Homo-oligomer: A and B are copies of this chain.
Amino acid sequence: MTETAGGKTLDVAVFGAGRIGRIHAANLARQPSVRLKYVVDVNREAAAALAAQHGAQVADVDGAMGDASIGATVICSSTDTHADLILKSAAAKKHVFCEKPVDLAIERARECADAVTRAGVVCMIGFQRRFDPTFAAVKARIDAGEIGTPEMLVVTSRDPGAPPVEYIKHSGGIFKDMLIHDFDIFRWILDDEAATVHATGSCLTDPAIAEAGDIDSTAVTIRTKRGRLCQINTTRRAAYGYDQRFEVLGSEGMLQAGNVRPTEVVAWSKRAVAIDVPEAFFLERYRAAYADEIAHFFAAVTEGKPVRTTVADGLKALELAEAATQSWREGRIVQLG
């Protein structure tokens, strides 16, 4: 923290100057009493460009972690650096915002959870979907009792196209890379934990994905400890674009969370009445969610309040991804603790 004329300012270091780092940096710039001080990236040029844009400086990991004035870190670097940077942040008593996943290995993620707890720092995991205005409204309306007791959740989560196979090889597999968001949605919306997980899948879009030992299409079923049911369907390639929907059946009604479209144009032609396809991909679809989540993080840090997506949530989602991977690989139903 730095004392300024206007009160305390929180100095922040951002790790990772890629797409998502740039989004967080821009949103961070709009928070009151928050200042981007350092940008860290192995790509010094990218770091320099982002730093220049926001009047920040380029630093390396040790420089940023060693500066006592830095009150919080925002980790948007590659997945294999997450755990290390969380542990270093905890050691340096800095609050942490970290993109999902905590780590691909559950043990390592657990280590991070322990470290931030011991250090007493805030650690928020970037499950931005919980901050999507539509998804958040559904959650609030369920909590307000609008549909009675939730009984069933159906999640449709489809990407517009698969990432390069090189990426997939190091992604931890589709369940940890892609469905981890959906597993978090499941826990958040049904407010319950998994008792059993069944996952199956296929490689239907590109044989190279199968050769890399992964699949591109999955069908997951979770039964919760309270007997509620959840089905998740995903694909790496929906020809019509990015499709992010879910619906919750409750004892007294249903709430559906739909896609967001760029415009509200309706076109009537000889053949059909047509509306826009959904927003292109996650950066567009979750634009408001990214802004809201970073505001939530800094508000929590400033006001000493708990964050909505903790490292424990990150760990639970990872356990589900692990269980689903097992279920798929071994062709069996997996019991959770």
Which A residues contact B (CB, under 8 angstroms)? Answer: 133-134, 137-138, 141, 146-149, 151-152, 154, 156, 158, 196, 198, 200-205, 217-219, 221, 223, 227-231, 233, 235, 237-241, 243, 249-260, 262-277, 331-333
Contact = CB atoms under 8 A, between A and B. Distances in A.
A35 to B, nearest CB: 15
B273 A240 contact: yes
Contact of A274 (B238, B239, B262, B272): B272
Contacts of A218: 229
B251 A205 contact: yes
A239 B270 contact: yes
A239 to B, nearest CB: 5
Given A196-B200, A251-B205, A251-B239, A277 B271 contact: yes
Contact of A235 (B152, B201, B217, B273): B152
**From A200, A201, A265, residue with most partner B Cβ within 10 Å:** A265
10 contacts: A133-B263, A141-B265, A141-B267, A146-B267, A204-B228, A235-B249, A239-B250, A243-B254, A253-B268, A255-B266
Nearest to A221: B219
A181 to B, nearest CB: 18
A134 B223 contact: no
Given A219-B221, A240-B253, A333 B198 contact: yes
Contacts of A241: 268, 270
A138 B263 CA distance: 9
A161 to B, nearest CB: 11
Nearest to A220: B221
A258 B227 CA distance: 28
Contacts of A138: 265
A133 B261 CA distance: 11
Contact of A221 (B221, B240, B275): B221
A308 to B, nearest CB: 18
A198 B243 CA distance: 25
Contacts of A158: 249
B229 A202 contact: yes
Given A133-B263, A203-B227, A273-B276, 19 more contacts: A133-B262, A148-B239, A152-B235, A196-B331, A198-B200, A198-B221, A200-B223, A217-B229, A231-B231, A239-B254, A240-B254, A240-B268, A240-B273, A241-B268, A255-B268, A258-B264, A269-B277, A271-B274, A272-B277
A151 B238 CA distance: 10
Top 5 nearest A-B pairs by Cβ distance?
Answer: A272-B274, A258-B264, A202-B227, A240-B268, A254-B268
A59 B257 CA distance: 49
A265 B255 CA distance: 7
Given A229-B201, A332-B333, A333-B332, A269 B257 contact: no
